[in-house]
Amino acid sequence: MNYAEESHQLDAEIFTVIQRWHDYDRDLPEDAFNELALRVFEHQLHYNQPYARYCETQNVSLERMPEHWHEIPPVPSAAFKEAALTTFDPEQAALVFETSGTTAGHTGRHYMESTKLYDAALIAGFDRFMRPDHIRLRYLNLVPNPALNPHSSLGYMMGRVSERRGDGATAWYLHGETFNVDAFIGDLEAAVEYDRPVCIAATAFALVNVLDILHERRRYFALPTGSRVMETGGFKGRSRVVDRDDLYARTAERFGMTNCSIVGEYGMTELTSQYYDDVMVIGHDHSIARVRYKLAPPWLRARVVGSDGATLPDGTVGALVHVDLANRSSCVAILTEDLGVRFDDSLVLIGREHGAALRGCSLAAEDLIVR
Amino acid sequence: MNALRAVPARRVVRAVADAAVRWSDADFPPRVRLLDRIVERTGYTKPVVEYALDQLFGSLTVDSLEATIAGELGSLDVLDEFALRPGRPRARALPAGVVCVISSRTTIGVAIVPAIFALCAKCEVLVKDREDGLVRAFFSTLGQELNEFREVTRAQGWEGEGDAVDLGRFDVVVAFGSDATLGRIAAAMQGGARFIGYGSRASIGYVAREELRDLVQATAIAAGAARDLVLYETEGCLSLHALFVERGGLIDPTHFTALVAHEVERASIEFPPGKRDARASARITNARNLAAFRSAAGSGSVFSDARGSYLAVLDPPASEPPAFLPRALAIHAVDNPSDAIGYLVRHDVPVEAVALAGKREDLRTFATEIGAHRIARFGDLQRPPLGGNHGGRARIADFITWITDER
C-alpha cells in the first residue's frame, strides 16, 4: 500500500471505532486497541521521520517493533516545538494548532492531515461526557474565538461543538487580552429570562477572572436547569493559581448550579482527543466531596510512568503518557510533564504546573507567613 | 546584657570548636540519633547526609574560626575590649543584638554557620529550625561546652505558618530563600534592624581548552564536576547547574561530556541518588527524552542511565535555561568566556560560585563579570571554606556594631 491508501485505511478504521462508540456504545477491547495502536505506530515509523529517528534512540524501529502499546516510545510534548511531527507534508495540513505557552520563544505546532478524525473524536467525547442528557445548549465561550485565533485547538473545539450542538446563539467574549464582561453578563441574564440552558466554556484562568468581576459587582445567577460549565486549561504561565475545589465551589455558588454541573476537561494541543471529569456521567450525590476521575474515550489511553519510562502500577503517581489513536497523522504516544495516577480505567490528574525553578542556598522559608 | 558578653571571645570560640569536634564524630550519639531524621526530611541518602555533617562540623575549628574573625574584625580582642587594629582607631565590637536565623528546607545545617558567628559576636540567637531538629541538638551540645550558651541560644521547630515569628523584635534577621520570600521577611522587620538575605543562586563550571590536554587531566576535572553535581541532589546554591567547556582542546566537548557522565555514575556509588518526588521524576524523564529527540535530529548529545538517575546534556539550545533538576547538568561547548557570559545574562542566572579549570587571567575576569562570589576547583564547589564569603557577605561583621575610641 502506498501512503494515501494506508493513511486512508487507518483513518477509516479509527473513525469506525469512534462512531461505534458514539452511536452504539461499542467499546474497544484491549487487544483491538493494541493491534491498532501498533499499526498506527508502524505507519508513523514509515512516514514521520523525526519521530522515527527519535524512536531509534529508544531502540525501536521497523525492525525492532514493540509488541505492546505500552512499549511505543512516547515523544515528549515539547518536541512539537522542535520539529514538524507529521506523517505528511505539513504545508498540506488541514488543521494547525499551536501551543498557547512558549518555551524560550518557540511555539509548538500540531499539524493534522484532515479534520475528519479530530471532529469525530471531539464531538463523540463531548457528547458522552459533557452532554449525556443530549440537551441542546447555548454556548457562552470564554475561550479564544476561532475566527480570531485559527490556531487555537480549544477555540476550534468549542467552535465545532457550538456549531453542531448549539442553539444558534453562540457567543465569544475574549478578544485578545480583553474580556467583554458586559456582553457576558447580558447573555447570562437573557439565558435566565428565556430559560435557555447554557454551557460556559472557560479556561480556569478566565473563570477566576469572571468570578472576581461578578464578585465585585455582587452578581449571582440562577442559571436554567441543565446549564453547565466546562473548565479547562489550568493556570500555565499565570502568576495566580487557585485551588480547583475552591474554584468549582465558587463557580457553583455564583451560577446557581451544582458542583457536578462543572466538568473539568483535560486536553493538550498535542492530542486529538480529550479527557473529561466523570461527574456528569456518574451523576453522584453532589453534597459529598469526592475525587474527580478523568474518563477518556476508548481510543485514548493513558499510562503513568516513572523516571525510567516504565509503566507504574495503578495507584502510583507519575508522569502521564497518552496514546491517542486519533493522532494518526502525527505521533500516537505523547509524554507529558503532567502528573497523574491511574485507577482501573480512569485517571486522576494530580497537577499540570510545569517548570523547575532555580533553587538556591535553599528552598528556604517559602511557607513563611510574616505577621 | 546577655551572659555571653562576659565570656572571653577565645573561650567562646573554643567551646564552639569543641562542640563541633564532638559532632564531627560519626558515632557521637546525638548525631547518630538524628541521622535518620535528616535523611527523612531531606530525602538525601545516608552517605550524603554523613558527608554534609562531616563538612559542616569539620570546618568549625579554632583556627578557622579565629582566622575568620580576625580577618574581618582586625583581631579577636575587639570582641572583649577596646583594642588596637592596624592603621585604624582603637575600637570595640559590640553584639548587634538579638539575631533570628530562618533555616531552610534543603541545605543541611545551613543555619548553624551564621548562628555560630552571631554567638562569637556574643549575640542572643534564635534559629527557626527544621523538622529534624539538628540546630536544637547542636545548641544542646554547645550548652554542655559552655553554660552561658544555654541562656543565649534557642531553636524552635518550624511548624509552618502557624509558627510564624514576630520578626519585628529582632535586631538582625538572617534568611534563606527566593527573592519574594526575602522581600516579605524584610518588609516585616523593624526600621534599623539588619537583614541578611541569601537569595536563590546557582553555581556553574568553566573548563578552559588548555586543561583538556590529556585524558588523565580531563578525567580528574570530570570527576570533580560529577561530585559537584550529585551532592545534595543539585539542590543547593553551590551545586553545579551548567558547565561550559571550551572547544579546541585535545579532549573535545563530546568526549568530555561522556567522561562527566561516566564520573557521575562513579560518584553515584559513593553518593547514591536520594528520594525523588513524582514531579521531579516527570521533569527528568521529559528532559531526557527531549534531549534524545534533539540528539536524534542532530542537535547535541544526551547521557543518562536506564533509571534516569542523572542527566548530562551536551549543547541544549542556548535559548533554554538550566534545568534545575536533580542530577541534571547542561554542558555547553563554547569558544570563550564571552559565550558563557552571554548565556548566563540571557537567562538571568545569579551565580554564587564558579568552578574553574584553567589558569588564564580572562577566566578570573569572567568570574568577576558574572557576579560570582567564589571561584573554586572542580570537586570543591560543595566544600566552601569557613573563611570564605558565602553570598559575598561577611561572616561575623554583620553581627556586631562598632564603637571607636579616637583619643
Candidates B161, B276, B295; nearest CB to A367: B161
* From A53-67, B191-205, B217-231, the region with the lowest mean pLDDT: B191-205
Confidence grade of residue A355 (pLDDT, cut at 50, 70, 90): low
Cα–Cα distance between B321 and B317 in angstroms, integer? 9
Same domain (yes/no): A61, A166: no
Same domain (yes/no): A44, A174: no
pLDDT given at position B159: 59
The whole-angstrom distance between B385's CA and the closest CA on chain A is 16
Rounded to two decimals, the ipTM of the complex is 0.86
Same domain (yes/no): A281, A186: yes
CATH architecture of B202-376: 3-Layer(aba) Sandwich (3.40)
Q: Is residue A130 part of a domain?
A: yes
Q: Is residue A269 part of a domain?
A: yes
Superfamily of domain B3-200+387-405: Aldehyde Dehydrogenase; Chain A, domain 1 (3.40.605.10)
In B173-310, alpha helices (H)? 179-187, 215-230, 253-270, 278-296
The answer, for A82 touching chain B at a CB cutoff of 8 Å, is yes
The residue from A258, A274, A297 where one domain ends is A297
Please check the confidence at residue B161 and state whether its pLDDT lies above 80. Answer: no
Q: Is residue A94 part of a domain?
A: no
Same domain (yes/no): A280, A317: no
Same domain (yes/no): A178, A319: no
- What confidence tens digit (pLDDT) does each residue in B84-99 have? 988 889 999 999 999 9
The two most distant CA atoms of chain B are separated, in Å, by 76
- What confidence tens digit (pLDDT) does each residue in B323-350 have? 999 999 999 999 999 999 999 999 999 9
The residue from A297, A327, A343 where one domain ends is A297
pLDDT given at position A292: 87
Q: Is residue A289 part of a domain?
A: yes
Cα–Cα distance between B146 and B396 in angstroms, integer? 20
Same domain (yes/no): A202, A282: yes
Confidence grade of residue A182 (pLDDT, cut at 50, 70, 90): very high
Please check the confidence at residue A357 and state whether its pLDDT lies above 60. Answer: no
Three-state SS string over B349-406 comes to CCEEEEEEECCCHHHHHHHHHCCCCEEECCCCCCCCCCCCCHHHCCCCHHHEEEEEEC
Same domain (yes/no): A188, A235: yes
Share of chain B above pLDDT 70, in %: 97
- What confidence tens digit (pLDDT) does each residue in B163-176 have? 455 788 899 999 88
Give kind and range of the element (H or E) at residue A39. helix A30-47
Specify the number of domains making up chain A: 2
- The CATH number linked to A239 is 3.40.50.980
Q: Is residue A246 part of a domain?
A: yes
Same domain (yes/no): A175, A203: yes
Candidates A82, A319, A365; nearest CB to B286: A319
Amino acid type, B396: I
Q: Is residue A16 part of a domain?
A: yes
Same domain (yes/no): A66, A172: no
Asked if A325 and A10 count as a contact pair (C-beta separation under 8 A), the reply is no
Q: Over range B397-405, report the average pLDDT.
A: 96
Please check the confidence at residue A102 and state whether its pLDDT lies above 70. Answer: no
Same domain (yes/no): A187, A335: no
Return the residue of B nearest to A364 by Cα.
Answer: B104
Confidence grade of residue A367 (pLDDT, cut at 50, 70, 90): very low
Share of chain A above pLDDT 90, in %: 78
CB within 8 Å of B252: residues ≥ 6 apart: B212
Q: Is residue A48 part of a domain?
A: yes
Confidence grade of residue A239 (pLDDT, cut at 50, 70, 90): very low
Interchain pair B102, A338: CB under 8 A: no
Candidates A76, A106, A307; nearest CB to B293: A76
Return the residue of B nearest to A356 by Cα.
Answer: B324
Same domain (yes/no): A263, A279: yes
Cα–Cα distance between A359 and A128 in angstroms, integer? 44
Q: Over range B64-86, report the average pLDDT.
A: 95
Return the residue of B nearest to A361 by Cα.
Answer: B237
HSE at residue A321, side-chain half, CA atoms within 13 A, is 26
Q: Is residue A107 part of a domain?
A: no
Q: Give ranges for CATH 3.40.605.10 in chain B.
A: 3-200+387-405
- What confidence tens digit (pLDDT) does each residue in A42-89 have? 999 999 999 999 999 999 999 999 999 999 999 999 999 999 999 999
The answer, for A302 touching chain B at a CB cutoff of 8 Å, is no
Same domain (yes/no): A289, A313: no
- Domain encompassing residue A234: 116-297
Candidates B104, B289, B349; nearest CB to A361: B104
Please check the confidence at residue B157 and state whether its pLDDT lies above 60. Answer: yes
Q: What is the mean pLDDT of chain B?
A: 93
Candidates A307, A350, A351; nearest CB to B276: A307
Question: What global pTM score does this model have?
Answer: 0.88
Cα–Cα distance between B67 and A284 in angstroms, integer? 71
Best residue in A362, A363, A366, A369 for a mutation probing chain B (most B CBs within 10 Å): A362
Best residue in A316, A331, A354, A359 for a mutation probing chain B (most B CBs within 10 Å): A359
Asked if A351 and B279 count as a contact pair (C-beta separation under 8 A), the reply is yes
